[in-house]
Structure 1
Amino acid sequence: MSVLSKFYDRLVFGHPWLVLALFAVVLVVASLKLHQFELDASAESLVLENDTALENYRTVNQRFDASDDFLVVTYRPPGELFTQEAISTLRSLRDELAALEAVGSTNSILNVPLLHSPDLTLDTVESEILTLDQNDVPLETARQSLLSNPLYPNLLISEDAGTTAIQVNLPTPEKYFDLLSRRNELRERQQAGELDENGRQELEQVSAEFSDLSAREEAERAETIATVRAILDDYRDRAEIHLGGVPMIAADMIRFIENDLSTFGVGVLIFLLLTLIVIFRRWQWVVVPLLCCGFTVWLVAGYLGWMQWPVTVISSNFVSLLLIMTLSLTIHLIVRYREYQQSDPEASQHQHLRDTVTAMVRPCLYMALTTMVAFGSLTFSGIRPVIDFGWMMTLGLALAFLISFLVFPVLVLLLPEPAMRQSAPGKQPLTDVFAGITERFGGTVLTGSLILAVLCVMGMAKLSVENSFIDYFKSDTEIHQGMLVIDQKLGGTMPLDIVITDLQRPEEGQGDPFASDCDPFVQDCEGGDLRDTWFTWEKLERLEKVHNYLDGLSETGKVLSVTTTLRLLAQVNNDEPLDAMEVAFVPKMLPEDLRPILLTPYINEEHHQARIGVRLIDSLPGLDRNALLDQIRTHLTDELDFKDEQVMLTGMTVMYNNMLQSLFDSQIRTLGVVFLAITIMFLVLFRSLKLALIGIAPNLLAAGSVLGLMGWMGIPLDMMTITVASITVGIAVDDTIHYIHRFREEFGRDRDYFATMHRCHQTIGRAMTYTTLTIMIGFSILVLSNFIPTIYFGLFTGFAMFMALMGALTLLPRLILLVKPFGPARA
């Protein structure tokens, strides 16, 4: 016996109360930071680790006074919108929303300028503009004015004039951006190795302040959204009302995560409780495993609180996974303990437990290590929440193993020994039926597995990552209904910004443009300040071509740019396009109160940039974001002659697409690397190439079956289901390891492959079936989620585990019988 084994034996079996006391101290320490356990559904939680898309997104929003920090309230009365009753109700609703402390301003058809006055010209635009709020405008006139305006249709009012929207702006404090900018600057200096001790302390302080401010803002915003919903409920009997907007999506995502963590955690515990009662029928075998599962989750949650690692929608299932995987370890221990009880009923409880630990520590260690390798593959994804998820599960599995071999035996020792359950004479377990099938129909098993493998490969070839964000939520949820109305009636939901930089800047000291033949109001002349502006005919004409191209795409809804402003001014100018001189003076021509609406969101002269805001129709069948983004960039550079460095695509669409593409690349294409790593581990563990290859076969089939099924069913990969393959590999190898280890152990008794297979199916096969059933039952609770990817995650992981069990009970033993990796059978 090694020194470590002697120490373990003396500590656990000699001083169980001391072990329990020390563990209680660890639990108390972990609980000190449980209150800092937090959730995150921000845009930052869905971007690549080194992706500049988020920084570009924030920069563009600051430069162009554009932001996604607003709620959209859709309003559709039962009858006509432009009636005194409907407008009065809309005004009352708007006023209640505007009175909220967190609301900076609101935009609606009530306060936007109406361009219908017969005296309205470019010279009188400031004095002749009227609004429904401040002027007695006939409602039919207002309706015609709003619909004929190039800015408002599909933005604040639907084209059928039946639905309108209130934009509720929730401004972010400047301190947020100041802290963010300072934090990013210090991080860049730290990465470059330019930060001294004072700088590191400042980075730590600034990061803490930013986290605290973000948490406060998030809490206040969630409270505001709850208040907005309460206000809307008072008006739902008078109109069809829905709530949308990025802040609401983020708040609802956090609500769904909280619900998943609590509901599924409790739900899985109840399911596991019932499963343990049905399987073992002894209260000790119910209490001890549940305590071990609870302790594992407690410690991981406490560690996340200490480290301030937020849980995102991607990692929100870590509670369910840890509960299930800890239970899997304890079930194997229980089944083996009961085997020793039946084989040697005269031995003491200490002896049964010592034999159990000695027999199971190696396969369970192998199982934990290979599962940790599978989850460790998530750390290569490049997306911070996925990386954190990988580390969370790796840490959780290590704790699950330690608790199973420290706390489990201690609790069993301190409780009365469970009574031995007698098996009915001559009764064979159900798992032995699979041994008979494998023995009699071995060729059919191999042929069926080969056909299934081919079908899996064909299905995997059909996989894609494109999906509708709207379809992430059940159709009866407000988030789905609100996004659908905005998508179909008000110009689309997914924002995309195309920013074009004017790279041709004038050099200081260049000559007077009026001294040449070049007209500076029309062309980019070789000198002079007028060249340092977007407001020349030539530049605005190029921007108009971009606008028209984007507006003509079937995937786009509302498109807004400086072209929209020019068309609006042309309408004011008696439907005559502005001439070159008028174009040059547009910035001076616009009233100060209209500049934030018509100018600054689209032109930034300081940074020589123009922005075109696009919203995509997310519910459009067959929407391929990645292909669309490539198509837009290619058209702008190849057809419209912009240089590649002039064109920047940003916004939520770009960040979301980058995340999906990265997940696809890092998980699907590196799945072979994961299998290679596990095969190498099998080589180290079993010291046999034959056993390593045999062991990997059913796991390949299990992972391939779930991905192939998704491909055949046309279900795209998303932020949740993309991880099913790695998780399946991680859990499925457990059955393989336990079966091969037990087969090697049993084979030494009589060197009879067929008899050994039957004994393995009757013993370890039963434990494998119990664990798989508990996993499948545990994951089935996820179908109650409002988040569709979570539902798919539960269903496909359960299916994958079923396929892994079938492979371990049929294909794996058939390959062992065929290859005979343990040497020749006894004659």
Structure 2
Amino acid sequence: MVNALLNFAIHRRKWVYWGLLLLTLAFVAQLPKIQIDTDPENMLNANNPERLFHNQAKTTFAMHDTIVVGVVNQHSIYNPQTLAALVDLTEYATGIDGVVQADLMSLANVDNITQAEPGTIRFEWMMKSAPTDLAGAKRIQAQAEKLPLLRNTLVSGDGKAAALYVPIVDKNQSYAIARDLKAHIATLASQDDWHITGLPVAEDRFGYEMFVQMGISAPLAGLTIFLLLWVFFRNVPFILPAMIVAMATVMITMGALIGMGFTVHIMSSMIAIFLMPIAVVDSVHILSEFADRHKPGQQASDTIRQVMGHLFTPMLFTSVTSTVGFLSLMLTPIPPVQVFGAFVGSGIMLAFLLTVIFVPAYLSGLSDKSLSRLLEKLPKEADSKLTPALRTLGKLAGSHAKLWLLGFAALFGLSVYGINMININDNPVRWFKSDHELRIADRVLNEHFAGTYDAFLVLSDTHNVNHKAIQAIANVAEDKQISEETRSWLRQQAEALEHNSNTLPALLLAVDDKSFELSDEYELDQLLAAQSTLEALSSQSKRFLSPSVLDYMSQLQLHLQDSGLVGKSNSLSDVVKTVNRELRSGNQTDFVLPESANGVAQTLLQYQSSHRPQDLWHFVTPDYRQSLIWLQLTSGDNQDMTGVVKLVEDYVQANPLPADMKLDWAGKAYLNVVWQQEMVAGMLDSLIGAFVMVLVMMVVLFRSLAFGILAMLPLTLTISLIYGLIGWIGKDYDMPIAVLSSLTLGLSVDFAIHFIERFRATWAEHKDWQTTLSLMFEEPARAISRNAIVIAMGFTPLLFAPLVPYITVGVFLASIMAISALVTLIMLPSLVSLLRPWLFKA
């Protein structure tokens, strides 16, 4: 195959040039179609049960993604100036396109609930207009602090902060809306500190900055690689084919991704920065050996044939193993990670094909005169600054083999211990640097309020009252004394209820209307009897009017509050207690649940006469068969959310749910836990699968189980060292770290393949251990070192990104390359030295 490719490249150079140009332009034309997606919800499959329930709960309880705006005054927000600014911003926010006006919430548009007289309740605006004096501000403070639904949600317990909750129609508009709010805040005559936060803002803001970063990091990586290659070879025309291959690979791959309709997620945004340095490595091997082998007067095509004869097989297998490492990401259940793995893996194979075709075509096309000038300007490989260092390293690696291996074994042991200390955790807000305005806002507002992170406990009645209602209707429909017309109507009603195309309340209305149409006394009596049964069933089905069920919710809320993991919780129980207090005496002693379902129903009927009656349906469904508890958390860390879930599980185990009741979770904080758990499990499967596949490939490549296992040892130690280091330094195992596991495997094995393949070829030629070892630390070691430096430095532009995941990837991939190259160049010679009689016994 290699000869066919070389013949095509050497004899059809114009075809190669024009073909690459047209192919690149065709895919570049797809780039303007780019669509950005930073929603962590899309880390889960569309049919994921937890995701489906979350979206169903949002619809059921009319919940929206929310931007949180906070105003902080170091003395007190209860002053005319601060409250006037809050009213102004609230009014402005209601006019922003994309804001759900009815559910927007601040002191300026909520009710104060008070007693008019015993048994009568009054709802009046808390602050329709700002107070003009300090006394008016203090009056608002007293009113707000008396209402549990507002305290530590809309106003802080310390009186120094107030919040505006801005629900939005589409979370993809959150950054634009937040920017609009920020611009208006700048026009307010306010000396207070204003902050904007919330997961939707963080996610959408990340998308904006990710797009900017993608446009900066990839070109910077290309520039860094170009400068490194120039340092190595000191000749621009000579390194030009490597840069052309890298840039073409990136543009074709990204064009294919976008052209096929995939959105650019946080993962796929890093495809360019990954491919740029990886696409150069094969070219570096070819250029290094070409510079080492070519002699004046020799045909460039002859030299390139010699070079490719030595390098084609190891380059092919290193490309395939790297591809396998990335493609193994498709084993994870996370769609954006699957897309990332698929396209980087495909891009690596594309880079290999372009390298083995374009680079030989380019080099063989150079005239003897041009080539002579190039070679004159090229620094002598023996004079390279790497050469003396590598020769010294070779001497060290070839001696004291047992001591080296004991040291590696000790490092492995320490790494395993560090791996056991790894802490699995993530939080989208922490994807920004600590001094980013979003991180500051998150920190400040969560210090003052009960929490800006939401999770929802949804309780549902599972008792099938419809079955009994259908039976009651069916019994009447079977009565032969009733007319066929009425019986047919009853059967239609039962069928509609059975297929959920009707509801029990709607059926009751239909039966009531039908009773006025009947003239036969017997039919009317039977229908009224059925109506009475249906009314009883309807009353029984309204489980969340039951004081005992509401009390269970209250006790669960108290348990969560006492744990310290939950800043605050709100539920239907709090609404009922608040209204009941004002109906009775207005004193805190009456902040209790009514003793009967009718008493609960009375409080809710009163609540619906407020200015915001729709707020009730955020806590309970109109049929009173589902209700939720809104949890406010001061931390968006997955570890904290997992602790809350465990806390609820333990409570329910010790205090079983009411009969025929089930509990489910919803909310962004909970969904983040779900996708991270799937990612961790998926990455483990991916790593194990890729490890086995690469091991098999190594055995096939070297036609030896011993050499196959030998090639896997450097990458095993590299992976262990990197993840042990993560445990030792206390870095959270988050999304970028999880993805790096499989990438480490694919990239780390490349150096071992080149080293072992070249070592065996050199040994076969010279049959002398010292000569072989000495030659291995010349051109082969230089090529490996250069590739490690190129890839490591290629990721350094990420270190200057404002986004933590990019920095994490840059630091760890640079470390992976440096460590894997060093381990390969020391461990393999040491092992081969000890196992030489066995490995080379033939």
TM-score range, shorter chain: 0.7 to 0.9
- Residue deviations 1:672-695, cap 9 Å, x none? 332222111101110001101111
- Residue deviations 1:157-206, cap 9 Å, x none? 1111111111222224xxxxxxxxxxxxxxxxxxxxxxxxxxxxxxxxxx
Do the aligned partners of 2:111 and 2:125 also contact (CA within 8 Å) in 1? Answer: yes
Do the aligned partners of 1:501 and 1:608 also contact (CA within 8 Å) in 2? Answer: yes
Residue aligning to 2:451? 492
Do the aligned partners of 1:751 and 1:825 also contact (CA within 8 Å) in 2? Answer: no
Q: Residue 114 of structure 1 aligns to a residue in which SS? A: strand
Q: Distance in 1 between matches of 2:422 and 2:38?
A: 26
**Deviation at 1:598?**
4.2
- Residue deviations 1:283-321, cap 9 Å, x none? 123322221111001001110111111121133221111
Q: 1:134 to 1:78 in 2, by over 3 A?
A: closer
Q: Distance in 1 between matches of 2:624 and 2:326?
A: 44
Do the aligned partners of 1:438 and 1:813 also contact (CA within 8 Å) in 2? Answer: yes
Decide which of 349, 352, 355 is 1:401's aligned counterpart: 352
Q: Distance in 1 between matches of 2:2 and 2:742?
A: 33
Residue aligning to 2:794? 778
- Residue deviations 1:239-273, cap 9 Å, x none? 21111123311211102311321121122122112
State how 1:215-230 maps to structure 2 within 5 Å: 218=172, 221-230=174-183
Q: Residue 312 of structure 1 aligns to a residue in which SS? A: coil
Q: Residue 498 of structure 1 aligns to a residue in which SS? A: strand
Q: Distance in 1 between matches of 2:189 and 2:261?
A: 40
State how 1:357-506 maps to structure 2 within 5 Å: 357-415=308-366, 416-417=370-371, 418-420=374-376, 421=378, 423=380, 428-506=387-465
Q: Percent identity?
A: 19
Q: Distance in 1 between matches of 2:803 and 2:293?
A: 45
Alignment of 1:74 onto 2:31: no
Decide which of 526, 543, 561 is 2:553's aligned counterpart: 543
Decide which of 157, 161, 164 is 1:163's aligned counterpart: 161
Residue aligning to 1:750? 766
**Deviation at 1:104?**
3.2
Q: Distance in 1 between matches of 2:208 and 2:823?
A: 38
- Residue deviations 1:523-544, cap 9 Å, x none? xx99532111121222222222
Q: Residue 795 of structure 2 aligns to a residue in which SS? A: helix
* Larger helix share, 1 or 2: 2
**Deviation at 1:594?**
4.8
Residue aligning to 1:603? 620
Output the aligned Cα RMSD. 2.7
Residue aligning to 2:522? none
Q: Distance in 2 between matches of 1:455 and 1:135?
A: 65
Q: Residue 67 of structure 2 aligns to a residue in which SS? A: strand
**Deviation at 1:583?**
0.8
Equivalent pairs, count: 760
Residue aligning to 1:12? 9
Decide which of 53, 58, 67 is 1:56's aligned counterpart: 53
Do the aligned partners of 1:252 and 1:479 also contact (CA within 8 Å) in 2? Answer: no
Which residue identity does 2:61 align to in structure 1? Answer: F
Alignment of 1:529 onto 2:538: yes
Q: Distance in 2 between matches of 1:120 and 1:130?
A: 19
Residue aligning to 1:133? 129
Q: 1:812 to 1:295 in 2, by over 3 A?
A: same
Q: Distance in 2 between matches of 1:642 and 1:352?
A: 82
Which residue identity does 1:363 align to in structure 2? Answer: P
Do the aligned partners of 1:225 and 1:248 also contact (CA within 8 Å) in 2? Answer: yes
Residue aligning to 2:477? none
**Deviation at 1:436?**
0.5
Q: 1:87 to 1:424 in 2, by over 3 A?
A: closer
Do the aligned partners of 1:637 and 1:644 also contact (CA within 8 Å) in 2? Answer: no
Decide which of 651, 665, 678 is 1:649's aligned counterpart: 665
Q: Distance in 1 between matches of 2:3 and 2:382?
A: 39
Q: 1:387 to 1:134 in 2, by over 3 A?
A: same
Do the aligned partners of 1:290 and 1:327 also contact (CA within 8 Å) in 2? Answer: yes
Q: 1:236 to 1:49 in 2, by over 3 A?
A: farther
Q: Distance in 2 between matches of 1:71 and 1:730?
A: 41
- Residue deviations 1:763-782, cap 9 Å, x none? 11101111111222122222
Q: Distance in 2 between matches of 1:823 and 1:53?
A: 53
Do the aligned partners of 2:112 and 2:143 also contact (CA within 8 Å) in 1? Answer: yes
Q: Distance in 1 between matches of 2:703 and 2:660?
A: 54
Residue aligning to 1:34? 31
**Deviation at 1:101?**
2.7
Residue aligning to 2:517? none
Q: Residue 38 of structure 1 aligns to a residue in which SS? A: coil
Between 691-700 and 72-81, the greater mean CA deviation after superposition? 72-81
**Deviation at 1:94?**
2.8
Decide which of 265, 271, 283 is 1:318's aligned counterpart: 271
Q: 1:147 to 1:425 in 2, by over 3 A?
A: closer
Q: TM-score when scaled to structure 2?
A: 0.85
Q: 1:447 to 1:248 in 2, by over 3 A?
A: same
Decide which of 81, 88, 95 is 2:84's aligned counterpart: 88
Q: Distance in 1 between matches of 2:434 and 2:383?
A: 53
Unpaired stretches in structure 2, ≥5 consecutive residues: 474-533
**Deviation at 1:649?**
1.2
**Deviation at 1:757?**
1.7
Q: 1:158 to 1:369 in 2, by over 3 A?
A: same
Residue aligning to 1:588? 605
Q: TM-score when scaled to structure 1?
A: 0.87
Q: Distance in 2 between matches of 1:624 and 1:696?
A: 38
- Residue deviations 1:33-84, cap 9 Å, x none? 211222211143222565222211111011111122x211111235431222
Q: Residue 551 of structure 1 aligns to a residue in which SS? A: helix
Q: 1:678 to 1:495 in 2, by over 3 A?
A: same
Which residue identity does 1:532 align to in structure 2? Answer: S
Do the aligned partners of 1:107 and 1:167 also contact (CA within 8 Å) in 2? Answer: yes
Unpaired stretches in structure 1, ≥5 consecutive residues: 173-216, 512-524
Do the aligned partners of 1:329 and 1:364 also contact (CA within 8 Å) in 2? Answer: yes
Do the aligned partners of 1:49 and 1:382 also contact (CA within 8 Å) in 2? Answer: no
Residue aligning to 1:616? 633
- Residue deviations 1:695-720, cap 9 Å, x none? 10011000110000111112121110
Q: Residue 814 of structure 1 aligns to a residue in which SS? A: helix
Decide which of 648, 651, 654 is 1:632's aligned counterpart: 648
Residue aligning to 1:813? 829
Residue aligning to 2:498? none
Residue aligning to 1:273? 226
State how 1:168-207 maps to structure 2 within 5 Å: 168-172=166-170
Which residue identity does 2:322 align to in structure 1? Answer: T
Do the aligned partners of 1:556 and 1:614 also contact (CA within 8 Å) in 2? Answer: yes
Q: Distance in 1 between matches of 2:117 and 2:12?
A: 92
Q: Residue 556 of structure 1 aligns to a residue in which SS? A: coil
Q: Residue 463 of structure 2 aligns to a residue in which SS? A: coil
Q: Distance in 2 between matches of 1:562 and 1:459?
A: 47
Q: Distance in 2 between matches of 1:23 and 1:468?
A: 42
Residue aligning to 1:179? none
Q: 1:241 to 1:595 in 2, by over 3 A?
A: closer
Do the aligned partners of 2:424 and 2:639 also contact (CA within 8 Å) in 1? Answer: no
Residue aligning to 2:18? 21
Q: 1:233 to 1:685 in 2, by over 3 A?
A: farther
Residue aligning to 1:196? none
Do the aligned partners of 1:555 and 1:616 also contact (CA within 8 Å) in 2? Answer: yes
Do the aligned partners of 1:72 and 1:168 also contact (CA within 8 Å) in 2? Answer: yes
Which residue identity does 1:501 align to in structure 2? Answer: S
Residue aligning to 1:760? 776
Larger Rg: 2
Do the aligned partners of 2:113 and 2:121 also contact (CA within 8 Å) in 1? Answer: no
Q: Distance in 2 between matches of 1:237 and 1:270?
A: 46
**Deviation at 1:623?**
4.3
